[in-house]
Amino acid sequence: MIQCSDISIAFQGKIVLDRIALTIPDGAFLCLLGQSGCGKSTLLRIIAGLLKASSGGVTVDGKPVDGPEKACSVVFQDYSLFPWMTTGKNLMLALAASYPQKSKAEIRNLAESYLEMVGLSGVFNQYPAALSGGMRQRAAIARAIAVPSRILLMDEPFGALDPVNRAMLQDLVRELHRDSRGSRTVVFVTHDVDEALYLGTEIAVLGSTPGRVIALEKNPVSRHLPREKLFENESVIALQKKIMDIYRSDMNEKLNRRETFHSGNGI
Give the range of 88-96, 179-187, 229-237, 240-248 binding another protein by CB under 8 A: 88-96
Contact 148, 98 (CB under 8 A): yes
Residue 54: φ, ψ to 5°: -65, -40
Q: How far apart are CA 215 and CA 33, in angstroms?
A: 10
Which of 7, 17, 80, 88 is close enough to bind another protein by CB under 8 A? Answer: 80
Cβ proximity to another protein, 101 vs 263, nearer residue = 101
Residue 237: φ, ψ to 5°: -60, -40
Give the range of 23-31, 68-76, 166-174, 217-225 binding another protein by CB under 8 A: 68-76
Cβ proximity to another protein, 24 vs 94, nearer residue = 94
Helix pair angle (87-98, 104-117), 10° resolution: 120
Which of 27, 37, 57, 93 is close enough to bind another protein by CB under 8 A? Answer: 93
Residue 38: φ, ψ to 5°: -85, -5
Give 232: exposed, middle or buried? Use CB within 10 Å, 0-12, 13-18, 19+: exposed
Q: Shortest approach of another protein to residue 40 CB, angstroms?
A: 15
x/- mask, another protein, residues 27-66, rule CB under 8 A, reads ------------------x--x-x----------------
Cβ proximity to another protein, 9 vs 203, nearer residue = 9
Per DSSP, the three-state class of 5 is strand
User: Total residues contacting another protein (rule CB under 8 A)?
Assistant: 30
Q: How far apart are CA 144 and CA 140, in angstroms?
A: 6
Which of 14, 97, 105, 163 is close enough to bind another protein by CB under 8 A? Answer: 97
**How many CA atoms, within 13 angstroms, populate the side-chain half-sphere of residue 152?**
28
Give the range of 90-98, 112-120, 195-203, 253-261 binding another protein by CB under 8 A: 90-98
Contact 133, 165 (CB under 8 A): yes
Contact 24, 182 (CB under 8 A): no
Contact 39, 59 (CB under 8 A): no
Which of 28, 31, 38, 76 is close enough to bind another protein by CB under 8 A? Answer: 76
Q: Shortest approach of another protein to residue 156 CB, angstroms?
A: 11
Q: Does 71 bind another protein (CB under 8 A)?
A: no
Q: How far apart are CA 176 and CA 195, in angstroms?
A: 16
x/- mask, another protein, residues 157-196, rule CB under 8 A, reads ----------------------------------------
Which of 25, 64, 68, 119 is close enough to bind another protein by CB under 8 A? Answer: 68
Cβ atoms within 10 Å, residue 177: 24
Query: By the criterion CB under 8 A, which residues form the site for another protein?
Result: 45, 48, 50, 68, 70, 72-74, 76-86, 93-94, 96-98, 126-130, 147
